[in-house]
Every structure is written in structure tokens, then in C-alpha cells.
Amino acid sequence: MKGKVIVAPNYRKIIGPLIFLGGPRAGTGRWQDRAIDIIHSINREANIASPRRHPELDNLLSHSEMDDDQMKWDDFYLERAAKKGGIMFWLAEEDEHNYDSDYAQISRFMLGKWMVRYQRDKFNFVLGVENGFPCSSYIRKSFARECPDIKIYSSISDACRVMLDKIYPDEHNLLSEREGKK
């Protein structure tokens, strides 16, 4: 059975663990698509929630409508992933600068919020930071001090693999091996 990919603002019923892809949505490439491809190449049964909307949907809503809908969607699937699955933040480097706002400001806020939740609840959490992400040294130092058990990855492939290892400790390797033998 192929896992589901849930893209904001859609809601779908899922069975089994869920991986939430947290990180910047604007000003960077579509890293979420790359993460989905990597995850499904290792375990095609993984369910994934991606907050990155299809570009054509962004033009249909006002910013206030989109922000409210996005927050509700994010909160719903972040909570679900923390309870059954895991949260993976990938802090991608900025590709296209917007002079009207700081890059990844919402992602940085959400990362701080979920770092605090992780300290309290200890769920499956993976953090990756691409070279060139603003404040990366501060983020690395903060996690080293506050969450020393969380290793920070500089490769999106490594971050995806580690997330799968946490959710499916032995299972995803077996699935990959079976696929290779066919």
C-alpha cells in the first residue's frame, strides 16, 4: 500500500504513522517535494504531511484567509505527527529574497515552539539545516544546549533517512531490501 501525501489545505484520513515536513515554504525551492521523493524511495508506505501548497492555490485566497487556514492545518498535522509518527524540520537556504519580510520567520518560530514541546514530550524529531540558512550557528548552539540528544543534519537525504529510522526502526530497511530483490 502506498503512503498518502497530504498537502495543505487538504485534510485526509490516514492510518499509521505520519511525517510532518516543517520548514520554509516561501523564498526557497520546493524542498518538500524532494523530501517526499527521498522518503518514498526508501519506504513507499510512509504518510507525509507537507504544508507547502500547490502554487495555484496561493492565488485563490487572501493572505489573512491563507494564514488562518494554514495555521489550523499545520497545528492539526503537527499534533498528529507528534503523537504518532514524527516531525522533521528542514531549514533550507533562501533562494529568492523578499525585501518585505525576514526569511523563514514563521519556520523559526515553529521550530522554537516544537523544540520546547520536544523537551517536554520526547516524540520523534529530526532537524536538518542547510548551509547558508540564516542564524544556523545560533540554532545549532541552542539545540546543542537545550536538546543535546538531537543531532542536526546538513543533508536532506540524511534527515529523511533518520526520520524513517525513528518511526520504522527496522521496517523501512526491510521494505527497501524487498523492493531491490524484485
pLDDT, tens digit, 9 for 90 and up, residues 108-143: 999 999 999 999 999 999 999 999 999 999 999 999
Q: How many domains does the chain contain in total? A: 1
- With 80 as the cut, is the pLDDT of residue 178 above it? no
Distance CA 23, CA 160 (A): 13
Tell whether pTM > 0.75.
yes
Q: What is the pLDDT of residues 23-71, one digit of tens each?
A: 998 889 999 999 999 999 999 999 999 998 876 655 555 455 568 889 9
pLDDT of residue 63: 55
Average of pLDDT values for 146-166?
A: 98
Q: Tell me how far apart the alpha carbons of residues 34 and 40 are, in angstroms, rounded to a whole number.
A: 10
What is the residue-averaged pLDDT of the chain?
89
pLDDT band at 176 (very low <50, low <70, confident <90, very high): very low
CATH number at residue 29: 3.40.50.450
Domain span at 44 = 5-181
d(CA 15, CA 182): 26
Q: Can you say whether the dihedral through the CA atoms of 182, 15, 167, 114 is positive or negative?
A: positive
